Amino acid sequence: MATSDSRIDLLDLEPDVALAQLRTWMNERGEPAYRATQVLGRLWQKPVRTIDDISELPKALREALAVDFRISSLELATRQASIDGTEKFLFRLDDGQLIETVAIPDGDRLTFCISSQAGCALKCAFCATGAMGFQRNLRPSEIAGQVRELRMLTPAIVPTNIVFMGMGEPLMNWKAVSPTLTLLNDPRALGIGARHITISTVGVLPGIQALAARPEQFRLAISIHAPSDELRQTLMPVNTKYPLAEVIEAAKEFDRRVTFEYVMLGGVNDQPEHAAQLAQLARECRAFVNLIPLHPGGGMGFHPTPAPVIASFAKALRGRSIETAIRRSRGLDIAAACGQLRTERLGRRLPVATEDDREVHVA
Ligand code: SAH
């Protein structure tokens, strides 16, 4: 099995590092340096499945290269399409772990929602991934690899935008997420503009600082979900470690505009006083607010806020000059929210969406 494979996985390396290693390797064998560039071009830009598929290299060179290096791949276990065009993919990793990727079309954009961990340690009360617990961190080859795999399908699926809103907490896996950001962004790899790549976090402070220190304009979304510590504590246990006030402080210091994610939980965080408190926080950090209808299925005991109540919550925010969007629920018929596909696959019963739930609510 590839987990016991000691070869270097070229997909784990940032382009500069891959090039340096390949050049050294080529040089040691008296091969010209351009061979290294040829290999790099086949990792992400015109991706191939294995080293043996790099047909521009002589066969003997491919064989020698495959002794020291490998190109890993993810096995596509399930693919499901929603009536609204959203597609969901379940990948099986070398060690049997299952992770999800969702492709969401919206006008001329195609956003991939990718996973950064198998499972999640944070146990947010309404989240299906939290309910399954933490399995392990993903490697760069497994995170950026989700994008690579979809590009290798026929026909290829090529994203314009990436959001780290699949399974896991990206800023608890910064060691792999940082090189992944390079792979997504670097023109020699996936070439997606930094402003089109969003990290979503519960507010892991050291991770926010590390993201802020990167020179590229990657975007930051913070899962706020409650405007007070008392309430946030009950929904997001991580609030004890990273309390709201400190998360807000970090958002203020972030030198780019941040987005607040706010899942609307019926009767829990959707009252007028919550809107007033949330507006105050958003104003302090000049944040844009995304109101997210609860995806039924993840939420143990929670109910979606009715559409008219979401609309008046949005109105209350806008009335306080806070830029607000109501996210449309996508892929409801395929349980496309965080962790739901894997949960389904592993046999836990999911509530069936009612006809009313199937409606796509737009602001
Ligand atoms: N750990 C990161 C990223 C993964 S979750 C984070 O928490 O931000 C991406 C977003 O989906 C988060 O805002 C999360 O709270 C939200 N989410 C989780 N379960 C959901 C559900 N059932 N319905 C709607 N949004 C959900």
Structure token digits, residue 30: 């008296």
Does residue 95 share a domain with residue 29? no
Is the pLDDT assigned to residue 14 strictly greater than 60? yes
Please name the residue ranges forming H helices in 90-195: 128-132, 140-151, 174-185
Same domain, 124 and 29: no
**Final residue of a structural domain among 52, 70, 88:** 70
Protein residues with CB under 6 Å of any ligand 1 atom: 124, 126-127, 164-165, 169, 200-202, 223, 261, 263, 292, 294-295, 298-299, 337-338
Question: What CATH number is attached to the domain comprising 27?
Answer: 1.10.150.530
Question: How far, in Å, is the centroid of ligand 1 from the Cα of 72?
Answer: 28
Query: Which stretch of 28-42, 113-127, 200-214, 342-356 has the lowest confidence by average pLDDT?
Result: 342-356
Residue 362 belongs to some domain of the structure: no
Give mean pLDDT, residues 314-341. 83
Whether 324 has a pLDDT exceeding 70, the answer reads yes
Q: In this structure, are 131 and 270 located in the same domain?
A: yes
Task: Provide the domain count of the chain.
Answer: 2
C-alpha–C-alpha distance, residues 233 and 249, integer Å: 18
Distance 50 CA to ligand 1 centre (A): 34
Give residue 336's pLDDT.
62
- 100 carries an active-site annotation: yes
Containing structural domain, residue 173 = 75-353
pLDDT band at 347 (very low <50, low <70, confident <90, very high): very low
3 part of a folded domain: no
Query: Cis bond leading into 155, ω under 30°?
Result: yes
Query: Does any domain span residue 2?
Result: no
Mutation choice for ligand 1 from 127, 164, 177, CB with most ligand atoms inside 8 A: 127
Helix (H, G, I), strand (E, B) or coil at 108: coil
Same domain for 61 and 120, yes or no, is: no
pLDDT computed for residue 135 by the predictor: 97
Nearest-CA residue for atom 14 of ligand 1: 223
Both 182 and 272 in one domain: the answer is yes
Question: Could you tell me if residue 20 is inside a domain?
Answer: yes
Same domain flag for 143 and 27? no
Q: Does 187 lie in the same domain as 51?
A: no
pLDDT tens per residue, range 163-174: 999 999 999 999
Residue owning the nearest CA to atom 20 of ligand 1: 127
159 with 300, same domain: the answer is yes
Distance from C-alpha of 304 to C-alpha of 249, rounded to nearest angstrom: 30
Cα–Cα dist 56/172, whole Å: 39
The confidence score (pLDDT) of residue 201 equals 98
Query: Position of tokens 């609307």?
Result: 264
Q: Do you know the residue count of the chain? A: 363
- Ligand 1 atom nearest 293 alpha carbon: 24
- The verdict on 63 and 167 lying in the same domain is no
- 96 lies in a domain? yes
* 177 and 36 in a common domain: no
For 216-270, the pLDDT digits (tens) are: 999 999 999 999 999 999 999 999 999 999 999 999 999 999 999 999 999 999 9
Nearest-angstrom CA–CA distance, 228 and 205: 18
Asked if residue 292 is part of any domain, the answer here is: yes
Alpha carbon nearest to ligand 1 atom 10, residue: 165
Residue 290 pairs in a beta bridge with 261, 325
Which residues touch 178 (CB under 8 Å, ≥6 apart)?
210, 214
Residue 226 sits in the same domain as residue 272: yes
**Do 186 and 229 sit in the same domain of this protein?**
yes
Domain contains 361: no
Active site residue 149: no
Catalytic residue among 100, 149, 169, 344, which?
100
pLDDT tens for 272-282 read 999 999 999 99
CATH number at residue 336: 3.20.20.70
Nearest to 224 by CA among 322, 101, 85, 357: 322
Average pLDDT along the chain = 91
The verdict on residue 44 lying in a domain is: yes
Give nearest CA residue, ligand 1 atom 18. 127
